[in-house]
Amino acid sequence: MPLQSRASDILQSRVFGHVVRWTIVLALWTLLISMAIGRFGISNYIQLRENADTLAHENMLLSIENQLIEERIEELKSSPAARSQFLQEEFGLVQPHQRVVHFRKLPQHPSPPRSTLESRPQVAQKHDQMF
């Protein structure tokens, strides 16, 4: 019996009550913090929702692009003129009656550095002062 009374005294003591209370409070705070910043937390959920919205938008754009490409393919399959024009533009197809002239690209001369353009008026002023 004394063992039972001692166990009930421990359970009823103030120290044990404080320890249990602070353990529960600490566990709840840990749970709340992990929900806020953890791997499965709210911030990660918000970021995943933004990624999902971005991917949905990109998926819609790619679907539209695929539809346009499929229409272009059907046009090229059905129209010999469109097919011929496409081959000429993309692959340089030349018909037997056509002449092709290739032009060389002229090298682009870079403009003079900005510092020499800005220094010219100063040189002219010094030259005018000398005479």
The residue extents of the domains of the chain are 7-37, 42-94
Would you give the DSSP letter of residue 86?
H
Q: What pLDDT tens digit does each residue of the chain (131 aa) get?
A: 455 666 666 666 777 778 888 999 999 998 888 777 777 777 788 888 999 999 999 999 999 999 999 999 999 999 999 998 899 888 888 888 888 787 888 888 776 656 555 555 555 455 445 44
Decide if 31 contacts 24 (C-beta within 8 A). no
Q: Residues 6 or more apart from 76 whose CB is under 8 A from it?
A: 82, 83, 86
Which pLDDT value is given to residue 11?
A: 62
Q: Residues 6 or more apart from 37 whose CB is under 8 A from it?
A: 43
Q: What distance in Å separates the CA atoms of residue 58 and residue 64, rounded to the nearest whole number?
A: 10
